[in-house]
Chains A and B, each alone.
Chain A
Amino acid sequence: MGFIFGAGFFQSSPVLVAIVVGGLVAVVSGVVGVFTVTRGLSFAGHALGDLGATGGSGAFLLGGNQLWGFVVIAAVAAGAIELIGIRSTRGRDLATGIVLGAGLGIAALFLYLDTSFSNTTGASVTILFGSIFAIQSSLVPVMVVLGLLSLAIVLTLYRPLLFSGLSPDMAAARGVHVRAIGIAYLAALALAVSLSAMTVGAVLSTALLIGPAACALRVTRRPGVAIVVAAAIGMLAVWLSVLLAYDSYYWPPGQRGWPVSFFVVLVIFLVYLLTQLRPRAWADRHLARTQSTSPRLADP
């Protein structure tokens, strides 16, 4: 065991914060991410994360914690996406891309100013690529509450979210308030992305949001199971990465741990590659089954 869990792993308070907060954030991102992928909002979700860099660097400039910068900018950007209200995927992607470009331009200025004032590049790395071990323990309760809030929104709206994602017209005909559901979902997405940006960084928050969900969709065709699988993949990836990062202290070049975010992205990518191998056989099995029943359907 000592070989796997490096000395002092379970006694280190940054490690415990990373395990608790990182695990929760991964669960939230995984659950929210399933709907991000099925609703065709992957690019919007990615943009909300990237724009976090603008908010995070701005907050840093003002002397605040980057968490609030992430949350505020994600909420504003999500509101903008909803207000623009473009229903065609291409139109939405274009608007998202333009807003994203402008936001990142501002982030470039803020990060430049941050490093000029503080005379260190630490802020840039923290904001862009995260620092799960540097989360202040005073922020833990806030992050837990925000994470549970995001989770509560999505789980409460589970059925209408699936329904309006399947077809907004059919859901509206059945009495679902499609617009209200969409707004509530964007709020949950903005929270999930902000928390994710805190742990793996603004740029890499996509990995936690889209990666586990994409893996889950490959291995199950049940919506409820997809949510559980995505949450589990995300959580295990983060925990494994925390462990690897802790142990990497003794790896070359030595006396400096490797970034957790690197391991998170790597683990999720490897899991995704694994899931690509399996479903072919499942699809074939389904094909064989439909063919065996089709002659009956042809009967008059």
Chain B
Amino acid sequence: MTVAAGGDGEILRLEGVSVWLGGRQILDQVSFALHRGEVTGLIGSNGAGKTTLFRVILGLQPTTSGQLWLGGRTDPGSRPVIGYVPQSVPLDPDLPLRARDVVGLGLDGHRLGFPLPSAVRRQAVDEMLRAVDAEGFADARVGRLSGGEQRRVLIAHALISRPRLLLLDEPLINLDIRSEHEVVELLARIAGEQQIGVLISAHDMNPLIPVMDRIVYLAAGRAASGTTEEVVKTEVLSQLYGRQVDVVRVRDRVLVIAGSDEEPADDHEHAHAVAHPGLV
């Protein structure tokens, strides 16, 4: 059975996906769908199962149960290209790779031999560097770029294969506020312009609130999905966590206080509340 389950513009659908790893349940009956042109935030604290969920979507992690549709199909043989930027890509300053080399590897890095110099290839790389505002450092060593610049180069790398789905694991981690803002705006623009589905994981939903069309909230392997207004409510999250959770709105920011034994979802980002005026 390979027929699409969903309706218009649906790129990805998960139905009741569970994953057990080493005797522990990492994902518990996770269901949600991603749509073309939409930005979806995958929100949860560390250890909630965000990276495992990405690996399931990428086909790198087998599921214990449940079903996954990509572009309306379940068979892994015809798996479409997915753009992926992992959480941590340590880049040594002496690595002999320019920003444009990293982007080029996204185009044909899986092929054997050397890339033949061609005008078409160079044009594709240049176009993608322009799309993420990276022309200014296209020829610099990628390991010497700032965290925000590296993020943009990796996003260009993921996009150049023209995926319909782009996965970014904690792309805002370790970024200063300006870079964080730039990356978020860039992702929202790309989702709209290229009509692709963008799934962004984050432990703090606040930087994403201005651009997020939908949210998938993960807690202890279980997920609640919908619009931010539908999901980020005291009743819904309390049910998800299985205990009393308080959703507090302070100015434009949302704080989820999930009990005394766990840190609030945006533990170290309080200072940003003042720095993000008028984003919502």
Contact = CB atoms under 8 A, between A and B. Distances in A.
A220 B96 contact: yes
B114 A155 contact: yes
Nearest to B178: A298
B27 to A, nearest CB: 18
Contact of B112 (A156, A173, A290): A156
Interface stretch (B81-89, B211-219, B221-229, B266-274): B81-89
Interface string A131-167: 0000000000000000000000001111110110011
A171 B136 contact: no
B101 A222 contact: yes
Contacts of A289: 136-137, 140
Interface string A216-243: 1110111111100000000000000000
Interface of A: 34, 38, 40, 155-160, 162-163, 166-167, 169-176, 216-218, 220-226, 283, 286, 289-290, 292-294, 296-298
B136 A162 contact: no
Interface residues of A, dominant DSSP: helix
Interface of B: 58, 60, 81-82, 84-86, 89, 91-92, 94-98, 101-102, 105-106, 108-115, 133, 135-137, 139-141, 144, 149, 154, 157-158, 161, 178, 182
A192 B95 CA distance: 22
A216 B86 CA distance: 29
24 contacts: A38-B96, A40-B92, A155-B114, A159-B109, A159-B111, A159-B114, A159-B115, A160-B111, A162-B105, A163-B110, A166-B95, A170-B157, A170-B158, A173-B82, A173-B84, A174-B106, A174-B110, A223-B96, A226-B96, A283-B144, A286-B141, A286-B144, A296-B133, A298-B178
Contact of A217 (B89, B94, B105, B139): B94
A162 B108 CA distance: 11
Contacts of A157: 112
B96 A167 contact: no
Nearest to A177: B110
Given A221-B96, A222-B96, A171 B109 contact: yes
Contacts of B135: 293
B223 to A, nearest CB: 21
